[in-house]
Homo-oligomer: A and B are copies of this chain.
Amino acid sequence: MTASDNGQKKIRAAILGASGYTGAELIRLLLRHPNVEIVLITADRKAGQPVEAVFPHLGGEGLPDLIAISDVEWGGLDLDVIFCALPHATSQRIIKGILHETGHGFIDEMIIEQPEDYASAIKSSVKVIDLSADFRLRDADTYAKTYGGAHDALELQKEAVYGLSEHYREDIKKARLVACPGCYPTAALLALIPLMKEKAIHRDGIIIDAKSGVSGAGRSLNEANLFTEVSEAMHPYAIGNHRHAPEIEQELSRAFGEDLLITFTPHLIPMNRGELETIYVTLADGQSAGDLRGILKRHYQDETFVTIVGENTTPATRDVRGSNNAHIGVFEDRIPGRAIIVVVIDNLVKGSSGQAVQNMNLMFGFDESLSLEQMPLFP
C-alpha cells in the first residue's frame, strides 16, 4: 500500500479480464478512487497492448500494459484485491487458484500454465470480487443445471457472499469472496426483496419484463450485436430460459421464505447503456401501490444509490446513465389488486462494475460511495 491523497493507504488492485466493457468500466471507476492503485490488468485477447490501444478513452493515466493471465508474475505484486471480469467457468478456476485452493488438478492448463506460481505468490489476505456468474448461485445442482456443468469450486461457492450491496452489506464487509449479481437480478432484487420480505406482494405470478442496452452483451464478436442488426430494431431473447431467472428466484425465495418461480423475458434495445425492468405483481390483501412505495421508501431511506420516485414520476434510464443509481417507481395497475413496478439502472455501473466497486469499498472499510459519486450523464 502507498499513501493516497486523503492520507489513507492505497490498496493494490488487479483486474483480470479487461478486454471487455465490464473491465474497462472497472478501470474507469478505479482510476478516480483515492484509495486504489491499479497494478495489474490482464486481457488474453489483447495481451501485450497498452490499455489505450484497446480503450483509447482510458489513455494517459499511467496504467500497466495488458498482459496474458498466464504471463503474470504474481510475486511482488502484493495484491490486496482482485476483480475477476473473466468468462463464466474460467472465473471459478482462476479464483480457486488465487484463494489458495490449489492442488486439486482443477486448473485449465490452456489458461494457466503455472497455477502454483500465483497460488503461492498471492498474499493470503487477498480479497476477490467476481463479476462472472460463477459464484452467484448458492446451490450446486441449480448451478450445474443452469450453466451446463458441475461447479469446480464447490467450497468457494458456499463461502461466496452474494454482492447485492444494499441487502448483504454486513456479509460483504467480512467476505473474502464476493459474487457480484447479474445486471438483471440487481434491478429486480432491489425492487422486490423488501416487498417479499414484508409479504406485501404474492409469492406467485411475478412477471419481469426486462429491457437492456447492448453493452450487456459485452464486446465479443457476434453478428447479432453489429450496429446494423441492432439499430432501429428490438427483440426479446432467451425467452423462458435466461440464466438470470434462477438467480432472481434464489434471492426472492430467500426473502420470502418459500421457494418460488418467476417469469422473466429480456429484450435487446438499441442503446449502449441502461436497463429497465417492468415488473407485474399481485398485491397481498389490503396492500396498495402506495403501500408498496411506502415500504420501499422506508427500506431505502438511508441509501445513497437507491431512490424511490414519487407517484407522478416515471423512472427513465437516462436519469441514471453512467451512475451507480437505481430509480424505482410503483404504479397502480388498472386491474384492482395488481401493481406495476419500474426499475432503472445503468447495467455497466450498478448492474456490474459500479456495484463491484461499491462492494470493494465495503470490504475495505472505505466510504461506500467513493469513486461512485459521479452524477449521471444526460443527455
Contact = CB atoms under 8 A, between A and B. Distances in A.
Contacts of A375: 28, 31-32, 57-58, 61
- Work out how many copies of this chain go into the complex: 4
B276 A267 contact: yes
A341 to B, nearest CB: 10
Interface residue range, chain A: 35 or more
Chain A facing B: main interface SS: loop
Interface in A278-320: 278, 280, 307, 309, 313-320
Given A215-B379, A314-B237, A232 B273 contact: yes
A350 interface: no
B227 A225 contact: yes
A370 interface: no
Contacts of A317: 233-235
Interface in A51-82: 55-61
A340 interface: yes
A274 B270 CA distance: 12
Given A228-B219, A235-B316, A379 B272 contact: yes
Contacts of A241: 334
B236 A278 contact: yes
Nearest to A280: B207
Given A229-B318, A262-B335, 13 more contacts: A56-B327, A57-B318, A57-B319, A57-B321, A225-B227, A225-B228, A228-B379, A229-B379, A231-B271, A234-B276, A236-B276, A237-B314, A241-B334
